[in-house]
């Protein structure tokens, strides 16, 4: 048997002591840009390791990165932060989301999307997903809107862009803030524009696994100067940048008394690394995209169903590659057995999709006393109150893997496809 000229492996599955498809190592992530080491050394010698340190007569790495990231998105403002979670919290509070407000978000996403909403004393409302893109379904959003709805958080999940045209229309029709969570979509485009520029605020994570990373870090972008100023205060204990450059040795944050904040600032080390990594983003995104498109064609030929992006997407990025198992050949497969088998064949982690938030063990507000704000609030934030049939069905049928595996060449892609083909050959042993 062959798949487009690629020999299939007929030995036992590696998980059953057979010979694996792949023994060679895979690309490692993160990959530091050429200038990252020198950038870190400059910060070490600068006498300023954070924006709350004294001004030394030169522009901070944080301000340089913020300007470059805003320019990359063709938008006016960028506020760096300590994490993607912090960035989303800044966005929510800048949009005046708070106690008792409802925030609609997708049922299938990383847990921080929901825990951050609870963290500002608001109520997460889970809406189901589109079965093709795995992103927020606009009809489900429309059905979930109530007089208490204050914002919609759309997550561009894995390797897809959500349907921003339809979601933007829903938000505008109801006068609700649209916030884009782009933690997994740095550089993706919809209708020729970068994601993160369609909502009131776009938020990003730069955690180690992300396609743009400094280990930890985040950023929020906006075209609105009022929201930008609010986010500056919120992330720096109520302080913001001054109108004039201070004298060397002085503070570059001023105490305005406008808005109480918390410390969610990005360090100079993280900002320096991001400034260098940003120059590599488009090249690496292009490499992943080309390999993913080849893999799509190979897996479709086997009956798998790769995740698609919404109509109107003009450029995809691949944080996670996701594909649905063939219904005809693996109708009753145990998803964990399948992912364990693929992992053994390939030598890198292949995992099921995130668990839906109504059944995700990482999302459990009742486990923390800070959210015990009374019986009515506790009932509203109980995730088990939501019924999410599309998310529940698909998360038992999806396999995913990290984008590092897409940073190789065509032979690497064909190894991945060969492992997926081999699993199909041994499907009888993987039935639940």
pLDDT of residue 7: 52
Q: Do residues 199 and 182 lie in contact, with contact meaning Cβ atoms separated by under 8 Å?
A: no
Q: What is the dihedral of CA 370, 374, 375, 380, to 10 degrees?
A: -70
Exposure string of 14-23, with b = 16+ CB inside 10 Å and e = fewer, is bbeebebbbe
Above pLDDT 90, what percent of the chain?
94
Cβ pair 407, 284 in contact under 8 A: yes
Show Cβ contacts of residue 405 under 8 Å, excluding neighbours closer than 6 positions: 26, 27, 321, 346, 348, 412, 416
| Residue given tokens 């950038």 in the structure block | 39
Can you tell me the distance from the alpha carbon of 66 to that of 78, in angstroms, rounded to the nearest whole number? Answer: 5
Per-residue pLDDT averaged across 272-281, rounded? 98
- Mean of pLDDT values over 339-357: 97
- Gap between the Cα atoms of 20 and 15, Å rounded: 8
Q: What is the pLDDT of residues 90-123, one digit of tens each?
A: 999 999 999 999 999 999 999 999 999 999 999 9
Tell me: the pLDDT tens digits for 194-253? Answer: 999 999 999 999 999 999 999 999 999 999 999 999 999 999 999 999 999 999 999 999
Residue 1, pLDDT > 50, answer no
Q: Give yes or no: 379 in active site.
A: no
Q: Which of 431, 429, 348, 411 is nearest to 17 (CA)?
A: 429
Q: Could you read off the pLDDT of 133-180 as tens digits, one per residue?
A: 999 999 999 999 999 999 999 999 999 999 999 999 999 999 999 999
Q: Where are the domains of the chain?
A: 2-31+281-430, 36-279
Q: What is the pLDDT of residues 20-69, one digit of tens each?
A: 999 999 999 999 999 999 999 999 999 999 999 999 999 999 999 999 99
Mean pLDDT calculated for residue range 331-351? 95
What pLDDT was estimated at residue 329? 85
Amino acid 250: pLDDT = 94
The H-assigned helical ranges of 145-187 are 164-174
| Mean pLDDT of all residues in 342-349 | 97
CA distances from 354 to 127, 141, 202, 400 (A): 15, 20, 22, 9
Q: Which of 150, 194, 210, 422 is catalytic?
A: 210
Residue 327 pLDDT level (bands cut at 50, 70, 90): confident
Question: Residue holding tokens 């990373």?
Answer: 213
**pLDDT surpasses 50 at 270:** yes
Give the pLDDT mean for 296-318.
Answer: 97
Any residues with CB less than 8 A from the CB of 313 and at least 6 apart, and which?
Answer: 160, 161, 188, 189, 190
**Percent of the chain residues past pLDDT 70, beyond the cut:** 97
The C-alpha atoms of residue 326 and residue 304 are separated, in whole angstroms, by: 5
CATH topology of domain 2-31+281-430: 3.90.1150
Confidence of residue 13 (pLDDT cuts 50, 70, 90): very high
pLDDT value at residue 8: 54
Confidence tier at 337 by pLDDT (50, 70, 90): very high
- Indicate if the pLDDT at residue 18 is higher than 80: yes
Q: Which fold has domain 36-279?
A: 3.40.640
Answer for the pair 219, 206: CB distance below 8 angstroms, yes or no: yes
Q: Output the pLDDT for position 10.
A: 58
pLDDT (mean) for 318-338:
92
């Amino acid at each position: 048997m062959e798949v487009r000229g690629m020999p299939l492996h007929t030995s036992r599955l590696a998980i059953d002591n057979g010979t694996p498809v792949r023994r060679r190592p895979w690309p490692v992530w993160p990959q530091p840009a050429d200038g990252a080491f020198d950038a870190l050394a400059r910060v070490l010698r600068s006498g300023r390791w954070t924006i709350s340190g004294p001004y030394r007569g030169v522009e901070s790495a944080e301000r340089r990165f913020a300007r470059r990231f805003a320019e990359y998105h063709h938008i006016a403002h960028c506020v760096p932060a300590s994490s993607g979670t912090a960035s989303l919290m800044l966005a929510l509070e800048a949009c005046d989301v708070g106690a008792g407000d409802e925030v609609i978000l997708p049922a299938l996403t990383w847990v921080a999307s929901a825990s951050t909403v609870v963290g500002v004393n608001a109520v997460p409302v889970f809406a189901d997903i589109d079965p093709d893109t795995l992103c927020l379904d606009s009809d489900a959003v429309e059905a979930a809107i109530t007089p208490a709805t204050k914002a919609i958080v759309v997550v561009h999940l894995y390797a897809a862009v959500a349907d921003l045209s339809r979601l933007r229309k829903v938000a505008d029709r109801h006068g609700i803030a649209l916030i884009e969570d782009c933690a997994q979509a740095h550089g993706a485009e919809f209708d020729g524009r970068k994601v993160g520029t369609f909502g009131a605020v776009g938020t990003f994570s730069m955690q180690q696994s992300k396609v743009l990373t400094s280990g930890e870090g985040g950023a929020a972008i906006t075209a609105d100067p009022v929201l930008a100023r609010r986010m500056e205060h919120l992330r720096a204990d109520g302080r913001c940048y001054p109108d004039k450059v201070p004298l060397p040795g002085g503070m570059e944050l001023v105490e305005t008394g406008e808005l109480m904040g918390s410390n969610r600032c990005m360090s100079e080390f993280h900002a320096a690394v991001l400034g260098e990594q940003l120059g590599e983003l488009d090249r690496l995104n292009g490499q992943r995209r080309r390999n993913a498109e080849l893999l799509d064609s190979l897996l479709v030929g086997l009956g798998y169903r790769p995740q698609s992006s919404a109509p109107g997407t003009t450029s995809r990025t691949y944080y996670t590659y996701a594909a649905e198992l063939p219904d005809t050949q693996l109708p009753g497969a145990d998803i964990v057995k399948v992912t364990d088998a693929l992992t053994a064949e390939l030598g890198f982690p292949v995992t099921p999709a995130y668990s839906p938030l109504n059944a995700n063990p990482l999302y459990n507000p009742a486990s923390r006393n800070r959210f015990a704000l009374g019986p009515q609030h506790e009932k509203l934030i109980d995730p088990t109150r939501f019924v999410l049939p599309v998310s529940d069905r698909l998360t038992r049928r999806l396999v995913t893997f990290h984008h590092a595996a897409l940073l190789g060449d065509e032979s690497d892609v064909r190894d991945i496809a060969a492992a997926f083909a081999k699993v199909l050959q041994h499907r009888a042993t993987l039935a639940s």
